[in-house]
Amino acid sequence: MADDTKTDQKTTEGLLDASQEANVDAVTEPGAPETAGEQIELDLLRSELSKMQTALAQAKTEAGEMKDKYLRTRAELENYRRRVTQDLERAREAGLESAVLPVLTVYDDLERALSVSVDDPNKIIPGIESVRDGLKRNLESLGIKEVGSKGERFDPDFHEALSSLPCPDEALSGTIAEVFQVGFVKNEKLVRPARVVVYQN
């Protein structure tokens, strides 16, 4: 009987030791799930973390691509601005040359008129008229024409009335009596209005 009691005591002590060892094993494995529910939750968290890491990597890749596109677009814009600036400068220079060439022709004509009038002053007027006619032809070649001549009907879109004169004849009412400064148009667009005196009742 005493032997049976000792045997039961040893068995109980063995079970207690095994239970303690199991508890020690559980403590030595931190984070280990204690239940099936915790294991499922852990798996879900791992899955979400994996998805987030994939999404982050993709976002980094897309951000890099967008940065490359931005840098390329910026470089193209700078090149475009540079080309436009160069084109404008070339156009300005070409416009300046086209405007100066007729003036240079007038200069040459004036030089010739003055050189001829040295020997005969009476030739100065025909020389100046020739210069004027040459300049007029040059302007017309550029599409620039005169507006505002004596007897022409007054048009406020092209003429500027400096003053008016009494109308000697009813038929002359509203026409130009005198021209102080001729005007110019280019393709029907006003460049400079003619400054005139108008007949008015």
Alpha carbons within 13 A on the beta-carbon side of 182: 10
Alpha-carbon distances, residue 154 vs 47, 163, 182, 184, 196 (angstroms): 89, 12, 13, 15, 9
Element (H, E) at 156: none
The pLDDT value recorded for residue 73 is 93
Q: Over 50: is that where the pLDDT of 67 sits?
A: yes
Domain coordinates in residue numbering, the chain: 60-142, 145-201
> If pLDDT is split at 50, 70 and 90, which confidence band does 154 have?
very high
The CATH class that applies to domain 145-201 reads mainly beta
Q: Over 90: is that where the pLDDT of 25 sits?
A: no
Instruction: Return d(Cα 108, Cα 2) in angstroms, integer.
Output: 148
Query: What average pLDDT does the structure give for the chain?
Result: 80
Q: Over 70: is that where the pLDDT of 151 sits?
A: yes
Instruction: Return d(Cα 20, Cα 31) in angstroms, integer.
Output: 19
Q: How far is CA 84 from the centre of its chain?
A: 10
Q: Alpha-carbon Rg of the chain, whole angstroms? A: 51
Of the chain, the percentage scoring pLDDT greater than 90 comes to 36
Tell me the DSSP string of 52-98: HHHHHHHHHHHHHHHHHHHHHHHHHHHHHHHHHHHHHHHHHHHHHHH
Per-residue pLDDT tens over the stretch 71-124: 999 999 999 999 999 999 888 888 777 777 777 778 888 888 778 777 777 778
Return the CATH number of the domain spanning residue range 60-142: 3.90.20.20
